[in-house]
Structures are given as C-alpha cells and as structure tokens.
A = this chain, B = another copy of it.
Amino acid sequence: MSGQASSAGPVLPVAVDAMGGDKAPKEIVAGALRAAEEGFAVVLVGHPDRMGDTGGLPVIAASEVIEMDEDAGRGVRTKKDASLLRAAEAVRDGKASSMVSAGNTGATMASALFRMGRIRGVSRPAIATPIPVLGSIPTVLIDAGANAECTAGWLVQFAQMGSAFATQRFGIAKPRVGLLSIGEEESKGSPLVKEAHALLAAGEAGPDVNFVGNVEGRDVMSDRIDVVVTDGFTGNVVLKTLEGSMNFAMSAVLGAFGTNEDTRRAGEVLLPVLLPMATELDPETYGGAVLLGVDGICVISHGSSSSTAIHNAVKVAAAAVSEDLVGRLASAVAA
C-alpha cells in the first residue's frame, strides 16, 4: 500500500463504513459529507437502502452489518458481505486509500488484518490512540486494546510504530517514548514490563526510538511524554479509566453550576472558557485511533462518534496516506 499511497495519480477516496457506530448511519454519512465538502475524496460503504440520503457521495455496496456487540471473529467469518470487510477489501484492491469505522472494534481490526495483511516484519498490529493533553500535543497510547496478551518483543515494536506515528501525526521530531509501569525504576513492574524495559534500554528498538524509561499512569495526560507503550489489556483499561474520570469531572463541574441561581450565572460566565478546553479534551477532536501494523490505513473511531469525529477521522486517514504512514512504519520495524 505504501508505494501506491505516495505515488502520483488520482487521489483514492477514504472508505467510510456507513453502518458502524452507535449513531450510524446518520452521523457517519453526515461526517463523510462534511469531509467531502472540504475536498476530501470519500466513498461510503454500506447497504444503499439503509444509509439514508448520501448527498451524492459514491457508495460501495455491502448488504451485511457486523453489529456493535457481535462476536468479532464470528462476524468476519460469517458475514462476507459486511461493510467492514468490504471497506478493508477496497483498500486492499486499490479502490480506496484507507478506511474509517466507528463500528465493532474487534471486527474492524479483524477485517483490516485479514484483508490487508500485515506490514512485513510486524508481529502484531496495535491500536495507537491519541490521549488529549491540555495546552500540549496529545500523548500516543499504544497498544490501546488490540492485544490482550503481549510479548516483550511486541512491546519493542509498539515503541517503534508508536514513535513513527507520533512523528507523522503530530510532527514530533524525536518523540519521547515511555514504558508504562508502576514505578520509574527499571526494577518495578510485571515480568513482561521488566523484560521489555531491558530490551528497550539495550537499544533493541533502534536509534530512532528515544526511550526515556518507565512512566506511570499519571504521566499519560502530561506533557512529559509523547508515546506510552503498554500491552493491549492495560492500555484499554487506561483508556476507559480516563474516559470515565473525564466524564465524571465534567458532570461534577456542570452539577456545581446547577446548584443555585448564583452558580448558574457564574457557570454562564465560565462556559465560554471551559468549552474550548472541553473541545481540546474531547477524543472526537482527534478523530479516532489508528491500527498500526496492517498494510494499509485503518482509523478506528469511537463507537459514540458524531459527524465531527467522522469528519476528523477522514482527515486523519487522508493525512496518514499522503504522509506515507505505512512506509514509515515499515521502516521503523525494520530498524
């Protein structure tokens, strides 16, 4: 894919899975339309009769849908005409540059992996999720949930891929890569983390990876670090914990505004200041996570994605293609 992606010629469209997500198809189609209005090439994938008014966007027909809570493995095995599989095939077959889905995450990963294959040398694809940091560049969390069990060697590859992604996505020349543990000392952590620490400290990830040692959960939302490497179980727990605590904090503040007439007025004064922060912290702003290591671009948006998230996800996918993320990842893991 990488060669194609950066070659000259007509720009291939981003394939958007119109059927995936809690707000599909309406918000998904609306997000794709917004991206198209900005000049991005987009193709919708889904059942033509079930996606409403597509505003003239091109469509790749797919008669089936893998539901949000369906078993991912069974879904991709039994629903050969699923929108997710058709989107991944479009990328494989050179009919789309990349894919975006807010659908079943497991099925999205499986579709991309089975249809696009892996980049040569990659042991396991991993999910890279940008974690918002107020007033600073987001931190890339990798693996945010693709591999519930990992080897130390895979974590070394996650460091390589996460670093290359942070450079492509956020323009960080030499991203600071930390290994998530329960103490900064190299003696702290699980056997997996200690082994990965030893490999990374020995330079196994190559000269392009700026390994700065262990980091802790509190560093994820800080500007002390650019890439946090962890296994997919811990990474997914961290992601969901952050999601929960941010919702919690927001409810607490909004609840305080509603206490009485005075606090309501104070809240009105503060909202114009707080809203831009909320936007900066909103995962929708970043358009979603990217599955790194498959031989093509696959953006995984949050299940609750609105049109804004999909709009941003299309931009993320298009930039990853034009900036040859797949080629960068291939070079990174070959180091």
Contacts and interface: CB of A to CB of B under 8 A. Distances in A.
A145 B221 contact: no
Given A71-B187, A262-B269, A277 B256 contact: yes
Contacts of A236: 182, 217
Contacts of A188: 148
A273 B263 contact: yes
Nearest to A256: B273
A270 B256 contact: yes
Interface in A233-275: 233-234, 236-253, 255-257, 259, 262-263, 265-267, 269-270, 273-274
A134 interface: yes
A220 B238 contact: no
Interface residues of A, number: 57
A219 interface: yes
A189 interface: yes
Contact of A249 (B230, B237, B249): B249
B190 A217 contact: no
A209 B46 CA distance: 46
Given A252-B277, A277-B252, A219 B244 contact: yes
A59 B245 CA distance: 41
Nearest to A240: B217
A134 B257 contact: no
Contact of A148 (B182, B216, B232, B256): B182
A18 interface: no
B263 A240 contact: no
A148 B190 contact: yes
Contacts of A238: 217, 237-238, 241
B237 A216 contact: yes
Nearest to A233: B190
18 contacts: A71-B187, A134-B248, A148-B188, A148-B190, A148-B191, A180-B237, A182-B232, A217-B238, A218-B243, A221-B244, A222-B244, A237-B237, A237-B238, A245-B246, A253-B253, A253-B274, A257-B270, A270-B270
